Amino acid sequence: MTSTPTAAQQKISDEQLIKDFPGFDNHYIEVNGIRIHYVDGGAGKTIICLPGWPQTWYSYQNIATEFSKKHRVIVVDIRGMGTSERPENGYDKKTMAEYIKQLIHSLDLKKVTIIGHDIGGMVAMSLAFNHPGVVEKLIVADGLHPNEGMLQMPLLPTPGTFGQKMNGNMPYAWWMGFNQVKSLPEKILEGRFRFLVDYVFDYVMIDETKISDKERNIYAEAYNDAESIRASNAWYQAFGQDIEDSKTYQKLEMPVLGIGSNVSYQFMKMAMPYLCRNSQLLELSSGGHYMFEENPDQVIEAIYNFLKP
């Protein structure tokens, strides 16, 4: 069984939102029996962009139009996100990466650069691990593949570290546990997802004003129904399988750029040498997790430099 948002659920349509992406168009394609939504713009070597939680394709607004001046840019609503379908299963990152690979083949592309943020970064890394032949370069922004280190995340925050803003030295991401719970989050959050959107952005960002009320409303509407909450939480509930899969992977050989925020840079600095043979890491300590909104110019500059031949 799969589900797609109804017109009533999706109050802000892709057709309305694409107007904020000059030169881009909406597309819908069936991949292995699942409908996937993506937007496509520009020309040149292809960059595929994968968003994270609790956002959608729209989160690439600040950087996609810039890169489309020199590249073909495709931003995908990953499985369970936005107006892509929400199957009952298949949310482990290996399966999700398989669908991105099939999308690449369906669009008759050869090798692509792939950018992933948050959950999208996990899927992007899984694509690189499992299908290196389609990945020319990999960029991960605060979203390394799940590993055993996640099992050490605290159930309770260290005393004195849990305030109005996430502590970069002792980060406490309580939703990593909350999203593991089945059925209850849908009952609590359906019709109320804006409360969670506001809390997460305000807590994780240094300057939360960089995400506008319009953007917050877009994301709240995208996750505001029970099926959308169920599907997005499934990304988290699959971490156990993702961790098991990670134990079978070899180091990545293609060039990899990591971009770490104030809460993730140190963790990425420790982890990336074990994951990649050819990597570089940029620290954006002046901003929080949602770096495309807080530090778009620095992200754009870093990626352009990385993409130079």
Q: What is the DSSP string of 88-127?
A: SS--SHHHHHHHHHHHHHHTT--SEEEEEETHHHHHHHHH
- pLDDT tens across 33-91, in order? 999 999 999 999 999 999 999 999 999 999 999 999 999 999 999 999 999 999 999 99
- Quick one: pLDDT band at residue 11, thresholds 50, 70, 90? confident
Q: Answer whether residue 215 is part of any domain.
A: yes
Number of domains in the chain: 1
Domain that holds residue 282: 14-307
Q: Answer whether residue 20 is part of any domain.
A: yes
Q: Answer whether residue 269 is part of any domain.
A: yes
Provide the 3-class DSSP secondary structure of residue 284.
strand
Angle at 167 between CA 165 and CA 168, to 5 degrees: 125
Q: In whole angstroms, what is the distance from residue 62 CA to residue 282 CA?
A: 19
The mean pLDDT of the chain is: 95
Residue 84 identity (one-letter amino acid): S
Query: Does residue 7 surpass a pLDDT of 60?
Result: no
**For the residues 200-213, what does the mean pLDDT come to?**
98
Which DSSP state fits 288? -
Q: Answer whether residue 159 is part of any domain.
A: yes
- pLDDT tens across 105-128, in order? 999 999 999 999 999 999 999 999
Tell me if 99 sits within 8 A of 105, measured CB to CB.
Answer: no
Task: Give me the pLDDT at residue 9, please.
Answer: 44
- pLDDT tens across 130-184, in order? 999 999 999 999 999 999 999 999 999 999 999 999 999 999 999 999 999 999 9
Q: What is the DSSP string of 200-252?
A: HHHHH-SSGGGS-HHHHHHHHHHT-SHHHHHHHHHHHHTHHHHHHHHTTPPPB
Burial status of residue 36 (CB atoms within 10 A of its CB: 0-12, 13-18, 19 or more): buried
Q: Answer whether residue 6 is part of any domain.
A: no
Task: Give me the pLDDT at residue 309, please.
Answer: 84
User: What backbone phi and psi angles, to 5 degrees, belong to 140?
Assistant: -120, 125
Q: Answer whether residue 3 is part of any domain.
A: no
Q: Where are the beta strands (DSSP E) in 256-306?
A: 256-261, 279-284
Contacts of 13 (CB under 8 A, 6+ apart): none
- pLDDT tens across 214-273, in order? 999 999 999 999 999 999 999 999 999 999 999 999 999 999 999 999 999 999 999 999
> Bridge partners of 193?
none
Percent of the chain with pLDDT over 90: 96
Give this prediction's pTM: 0.96
Return the CATH number at 81. 3.40.50.1820
Tell me if 298 sits within 8 A of 270, measured CB to CB.
Answer: no
Query: Does residue 10 surpass a pLDDT of 80?
Result: no
